[in-house]
Amino acid sequence: MGGSGGRIMAVAQNKGQGENGGCKRRVVRWGKILGLLVLALFLLLGALFITGKFLTSRLETDPRALESWGPGTSFLTTRSGDVHILDVGEGEVILLIHGSTGSIADWQEGVVDRLAESHRVVAFDSYGFGLSERNDSFKYGHALWTQQAIDVLDALEIERAAVVGHSAGAMTAVLLAADYPESFRGVVLTGHGFAADPAQMLPFLPGVGELWAAQQTIIGDAFSDSYREQAEAVHRIRGTRAAYLAFMRSQYISPTSFRLFDGGYEDIEVPVLQMHGTLDKSQTIESARELSSRLADTHFVAIEGSDHFIHIEAPDQWGARVTPFVWSLAPGLSRSQRDPDRGAPPNLLRPQIVIFAG
């Protein structure tokens, strides 16, 4: 019995060792397969990256912008770089900041002429967009554009402004109002919520984003023939697509973005007007309303039937709310007197407006 038992134990031990050996071989085999898959993915993304860069070089043939866009536009040298600006009208100052892929043209489409009748309108393209400078040393994002805004205001000797931001540009407006309270008297947030846009996930992937961008004659919407013509000129400037991709890949993971998850909005001490289209698919109206609880002094206005670009789709409705709000930022008014639904007090001076691409 003892000998038989020993043989059984030996067989069992050998069987266990065989099973362990087989398990190890399977782990090794699947490890090799996984490694090959990772290598294949890496090579594929690398090939897409190189292909995208090559195709982009065929599209972006202009070293830089040489001519500005018509009356009132010019190039301004600031501390941080060369900026394309629009400067028309007279009055107090408002700073309008457009969203990603935009330019001065975003505001020219709907509201510049209207505002310039009674205000000074200064617009500029943010770095990487429009006709402003591209530079490999730039870290494209809200921190850069916030500094650019201050540099432009300083170069124009503008001491104080109301700031209006659209979409991603509204995030820059938030940072300006929070970090430079002495320079801004009020904030308008247009088409802005704090939610990820699913349409921006594709450019986020390295290689995939480069190939996708290389297939776009323009990135973003075109609202008229003249707008498309300007956008196509912008996308022939070297570094345009790289700037866009750099911003897309950093906007949700940068220190600035992490800060705004639980701060930034709460740091704003001046009055805020939120304007949002009820049909906005990029930033839903629900995401915009959620921000109201984080703002100390805000008024929310929903524009029925409008999508993401309210100032272009419904410029009269947009202006009818923004203009009296900005008028109401004169010193000494109560919160109830700042309600944009009440209209502008007739005895207030109209402020000067600054618009910049962000």
pLDDT digits (tens, 9 = 90+) for 202-247: 777 889 999 999 999 898 888 899 899 999 999 999 999 999 999 9
For residue 137, being part of any structural domain is answered with yes
For residue 60, being part of any structural domain is answered with no
Tell me whether strands 121-124 and 82-88 are parallel, antiparallel or unpaired. Answer: antiparallel
What length is written for the chain? 358
For residue 181, being part of any structural domain is answered with yes
Closest residue by Cα to residue 210 from 2, 59, 30, 87: 59
- Give per-residue pLDDT as tens, 327-338: 888 765 555 555
Contact 141, 247 (CB under 8 A): yes
Written as one letter, the residue type at 104 is: I
For residue 2, being part of any structural domain is answered with no
- Give per-residue pLDDT as tens, 119-162: 788 889 999 999 999 999 999 999 999 999 999 999 999 999 98
Tokens 């940068």 identify what position?
254
pLDDT in the model for residue 58: 93
Closest residue by Cα to residue 57 from 241, 284, 276: 241
Tokens found for residue 190: 């247009």
d(CA 312, CA 315): 5
End-to-end CA separation in angstroms for the chain: 87
> How many domains does the chain fold into?
1
**pTM for the predicted model, two decimal places:** 0.83
Domain of 151 in residue numbering reads as 73-357
Please, which residues have CB within 8 angstroms of residue 69's CB and are 6 or more apart in sequence?
84, 86, 104, 105, 108, 131, 230
CATH number of the CATH domain containing 127: 3.40.50.1820
State the average pLDDT for the chain. 84
- Give per-residue pLDDT as tens, 183-208: 999 999 999 987 766 666 777 788 99
For residue 102, being part of any structural domain is answered with yes
Confidence of residue 18 (pLDDT cuts 50, 70, 90): low
For residue 37, being part of any structural domain is answered with no
Q: Is 339 exposed, middle or buried (0-12, 13-18, 19+ CB in 10 A)?
A: middle
- Give per-residue pLDDT as tens, 304-349: 999 999 999 999 999 889 888 888 887 655 555 555 555 444 444 4
d(CA 236, CA 234): 5
Q: DSSP 3-state assignment of 270? A: coil
For residue 50, being part of any structural domain is answered with no
pLDDT in the model for residue 21: 62
For 53, other C-beta atoms within 10 Å of its C-beta total 16
For residue 17, being part of any structural domain is answered with no
DSSP-assigned letters across all residues of 143-180: HHHHHHHHHHHHHTT---EEEEEETHHHHHHHHHHHH-
